[in-house]
Structure formats: C-alpha cells, structure tokens
Amino acid sequence: MTAQVETETQPLFAFDGLPFAPWCPTDDGVMGGRSRSQFAPTAAGTAAFTGVVSFENNGGFCSVRSPDFAVGRGRYSGVSLLARGDGKTYTLCLHTQALMPGMSYRCKFTPPIGEWVELLLPFDDFVLMRFGYRVGVEPVNPDHVRAVSLMIADKQDGPFALELARVAVRG
C-alpha cells in the first residue's frame, strides 16, 4: 500500500474573482528613473505585471506590491506561483512587519515563454536583502509574511510581461 502525502495549500491571491485588490507599483521613478509598470486584471481572469524597464537617468527596475494579508499558522515550505512569462527573470519578494524599509526576502524565478507553469519557490531559497544587497542570513518565517511583491531588475531593459493566475503558500 502506498501512503498518500497531503500537501497543504493556502491561496494568497487568485485573480479570477472580484473584486480585484489593487497592487501598488514602485518603479525606479522614486530615484529619478524612467521605468514604468502596472499590475492589472486580464479578461482571462488572471493578473498581468507589465511595463518597460529603462536605464535612462540611472534607472533599471520595476516592482509592484500586494495588499497586506495574513498567512496564518501552517506547515508551509514555500510559495507556489501559477505563472506564464516572457523569458525574463523576475524576483518574488516577501515582506514582514519587522523588516526595515527596502528589506525583503527575495527569490528569483524565470517562467517559460508563453507556457503556464507552476513554480515552487522553497522558503529556504529566499535571501534577506536590502536595496539589492544581501544583509542577513535569517531564514524567512512564513507566519510573519504580510505582503509579497514582484520585481524585474538586473539589467533587463525593455518591455516585459508576467502573467499570474495564482499565488499561494504550500506545505
């Protein structure tokens, strides 16, 4: 007899229902750059993070942050994204109340071009960073995560498009 292992999943955001909670963009314009982005619902019941990264005026990043939420207690081991990409590399950032401004736990991912895929990002792969620099080795505590953000940076100029159907935590 084979034992079945149940994987606990808690959706954080599924974009096929109403109302769509707005995510807040923070692009390099905060430091004089010219990049721009948006995060908006699609007709297909997903959400799209789209825009243009520009190096003009020493810019080079776009990001968008979710509304605050509570993960709740659970035996979660990572974040699951149902995503479709454009071949570019993105960063998922996890925010807690205890972190200073500009700090987050970050993990990079590259969804395939035009193909829906579930990406599993283990909490052990997230690195504590501030303004692009590693600042600690403390592991992320999923019980303390209060918001997520998506970011594109790392010298990837030009248009970008990342589509999400779901963001969840998984056991």
Among 65, 96, 74, 67, CA closest to 10: 74
pLDDT in the model for residue 146: 94
- In this predicted structure, the answer to whether residue 3 has a pLDDT above a threshold of 50 is no
Q: What is the CATH number of domain 21-166?
A: 2.60.120.430
pLDDT in the model for residue 18: 64
Global model pTM greater than 0.95: no
* SS3 state of residue 161: strand
CA distance 11 to 74: 13
Q: How far is CA 148 from CA 6, 55, 103, in A?
A: 25, 25, 12
Amino acid at 109: F
pLDDT, one tens digit per residue, over 70-116 is 887 778 999 999 999 999 999 999 999 888 888 999 999 999 999 99
List 158's β-bridge partners, or say none: 53
Distance spanning both ends of the chain, measured CA to CA: 23
Q: Which of 16-20, 40-44, 131-135, 157-161 has the lowest mean pLDDT?
A: 16-20
Of all residues in the chain, the percent with pLDDT exceeding 70 is 95
Confidence of residue 171 (pLDDT cuts 50, 70, 90): confident
Both tokens assigned to 161 = 């498009």
Q: How far is CA 62 from CA 33, 124, 137, 155, in A?
A: 10, 25, 25, 11
CA distance 111 to 90: 8
pLDDT, one tens digit per residue, over 49-73 is 999 999 999 899 999 999 999 887 7
Domain boundaries, the chain: 21-166
Both tokens assigned to 148 = 């997520």
pLDDT, one tens digit per residue, over 33-49 is 999 999 999 999 999 99
- In this predicted structure, the answer to whether residue 117 has a pLDDT above a threshold of 80 is yes
Amino acid at 88: K
- In this predicted structure, the answer to whether residue 4 has a pLDDT above a threshold of 70 is no
CA distance 122 to 169: 10
Give the distance, in angstroms, between the CA of residue 163 and the centroid of all CA atoms in the same chain.
Answer: 11
Q: Are 111 and 85 in contact (CB under 8 A)?
A: yes
- In this predicted structure, the answer to whether residue 1 has a pLDDT above a threshold of 50 is no
Q: Is the peptide bond before 142 cis (omega within 30 degrees of 0)?
A: no
